[in-house]
Every structure is written in C-alpha cells, then in structure tokens.
Chains A and B, each alone.
Chain A
Amino acid sequence: GAGVSQSPSNKVTEKGKDVELRCDPISGHTALYWYRQSLGQGLEFLIYFQGNSAPDKSGLPSDRFSAERTGGSVSTLTIQRTQQEDSAVYLCASSSRASGANVLTFGAGSRLTVL
C-alpha cells in the first residue's frame, strides 16, 4: 500500500480482556517496528521484525504482550489480560534501508483505552 495502515484506529476494552492490533506495512519494507506512546510520554520501543530473522522483543513490557509477523508482511500485536496502564497509542512503523538514513514510516496508530 501507499502507507502504513493500522487497525483499529480506536479500541476501548475492559480490563482483563485480550486485544489484537494490526499493522499492514508498506509493501516491500522488510523491517517492522511497534512502539507505544503513553499520555505525556515519548515513543517506547516494543518489538522489531527484520525479514525472516528472529524478532527483537527486548522492549515488550511483560509476557502479556506478544507480536507476530506473517509472511514478512502484516503484523499483529496482542495484549492479553489488558490492564489500565496498557492504555496508550500503539504505533507501527516500517522501513527499508536505502542509501543514507534508515527512515521509519509510521502509521496513524491504534489508540487503546482500557477501562
């Protein structure tokens, strides 16, 4: 596609429920990142996928968080047993390193509110 697509754009859920957030990166981009931005905070790295390599999960805050990337394209971020502190905007970005800087292209984000 022309840009990075994320769905849903908004999700309200009750504490304890599971949620899935989807990211469709730019076609041909081999790298995919998930970040989150909590209210008043910066962008917090969650997980990084590069091609067929094992993902870098070092940013996932707990074992309730997991992500997968199928076929090197679409990615799903799953949060199990959601807590109120999970409320944030979850941003997906993709990149394809060309010459020069490796630039991330972000989606519009999925705003998660846990009641």
Chain B
Amino acid sequence: DQQVKQNSPSLSVQEGRISILNCDYTNSMFDYFLWYKKYPAEGPTFLISISSIKDKNEDGRFTVFLNKSAKHLSLHIVPSQPGDSAVYFCAASTGNQFYFGTGTSLTVIP
C-alpha cells in the first residue's frame, strides 16, 4: 500500500518560471515531510523538510507547503534553473520509518 504518492512522473518548466511538485499521503501520523533531489548515478540528497505542525517552510528558492486537511504537500522552486533538473522524491516519516513516493522527474528548459 503506497502511503506516499507522487502522481506526476514528469514535469517540464521554462527556466525562470515556477516549478510546483506535488505529493499526497494517507497516514495522518506522519510527523515530518521531506523532499529529496536525485541526479543520475547519485544517491538522493536532502533538500528541505517541514514539520507537521507547520504549513510552510522556505529555504532560498525552495518552499514547501503542507496542507494537513488535504494530506497534501508541495514543493515550489522559483525561479527554476537548468541545474534543478533532477528527480524529486517526496518522503514522510513517523518515528524512524520513512516512506517515499515514486518521484517526479523535473526538466528545466533553458
């Protein structure tokens, strides 16, 4: 049973515009949500996280929004840059367990 879902396998955005990546989850017990970025032939690298007690966390060009009533979170990247092209994984954790989505491949077009 997939507890974390990323329903868009791919996304293309023009350089300078906003990229919005979406993620849905089913378990209301998750206490942290994280986004990871993965380049080919590398392991995923941590990007940004948000606690379940917050609804927004911002770090430079990256902002994560959490809507607990909808069990939905999103990652906004603005402005998008070609170096942002990668696969983005959404993850949710409770205690020491992590659940990952299937990833969204972002392509930023110069």
Contacts and interface: CB of A to CB of B under 8 A. Distances in A.
Interface of A: 4, 31, 33, 35, 41-43, 45, 48, 50, 56, 91, 93, 97, 100-109
B96 A106 contact: no
Contact of B32 (A4, A41, A48, A101): A101
B102 A109 contact: no
Interface of B: 6, 32, 34, 36, 41-46, 49, 51, 89, 91, 93, 96-103
B15 to A, nearest CB: 27
A103 B41 contact: no
Given A42-B100, A100-B51, A91 B89 contact: no
Given A42-B89, A101-B51, A106 B100 contact: no
A48 B96 CA distance: 9
B68 to A, nearest CB: 16
B93 A42 contact: no
Given A42-B89, A100-B51, A105 B100 contact: no
Given A100-B51, A103-B46, 10 more contacts: A42-B100, A42-B102, A45-B97, A48-B97, A91-B44, A93-B43, A101-B32, A102-B96, A108-B41, A109-B43
A45 B98 contact: yes
A103 B34 CA distance: 8
